[in-house]
Chains A and B, each alone.
Chain A
Amino acid sequence: GDSVTQKQGQVTLSEDDFLFINCTYSTTTYPTLLWYVQYPGQGPQLLLKVTTANNKGISRGFEATYDKGTTSFHLQKASVQESDSAVYFCALVYQRFGTGTKLQVVP
């Protein structure tokens, strides 16, 4: 069945560091892929969405590129800020969320 895999449970960075969160997927189709962010005490909210039509999503300085060859959908940001500290989930359709990556950015 369809699945997504996030191997990094936690990432700790300093402000202005480069962020890379790994996400790979398995599916027989070419779906839309999504990244959600969850701040403490809140529900997840959509960060960005990528379809087969556009191949790349960009939002609030975050970027993800759909790579069918490696079946990956990694999340990147050039320079993180303390306010980016949150949990990041990649998702493949509403039934399939990754296990989440907790990002902690220290000043």
Chain B
Amino acid sequence: DPKIIQKPKYLVAVTGSEKILICEQYLGHNAMYWYRQSAKKPLEFMFSYSYQKLMDNQTASSRFQPQSSKKNHLDLQITALKPDDSATYFCASSQERTGNERLFFGHGTKLSVL
């Protein structure tokens, strides 16, 4: 059974709309992350959370907002969607946010913005 669940697996959106990408982990980890993967940037770090607090934000745009309602949840809200946002978004987790810990990734949500 997958220990990191991302929903939905595929998502199609129209330009200007808003979507929420869901991530839940059942590994008991305290740190969670979001990454984006596209042809232009193979694996781009976006956010890190530790104990439900935002620790790193490397996303220039405020259109991307992570939301942690529970310790094992880290959703990603994307507003005013653009075609350039089309990518696969991966959620990951690690036991702690020490920097050199093993990351466990979900299977990703493939977002297509038309």
Do chains A and B interact in one complex?
yes
CB contact under 8 A between A49 and B105, given known A94-B94, A95-B56: no
Number of residues from B at the complex interface, CB < 8 A? 22
Contact B103 A94 (CB under 8 A): yes
Residues of A with C-beta under 8 A to B72: none
- Which of B48, B58, B101, B105 contacts A44 (CB under 8 A)? B105
A99-B33 Cα distance, complex, nearest whole Å? 18
Task: Determine the distance from Cα of A96 to Cα of B101 in the docked complex, in whole angstroms.
Answer: 13
- Interface residue ranges, B against A (CB under 8 Å): 4, 33, 42-43, 45, 48, 56, 58, 90, 92, 94, 97, 99-108
Known: A32-B100, A43-B105, A89-B42. 17 other contacts (CB 8 A): A34-B102, A36-B103, A42-B107, A43-B90, A43-B106, A44-B43, A45-B104, A46-B102, A51-B100, A87-B42, A93-B100, A94-B101, A94-B103, A95-B56, A95-B58, A96-B45, A97-B42
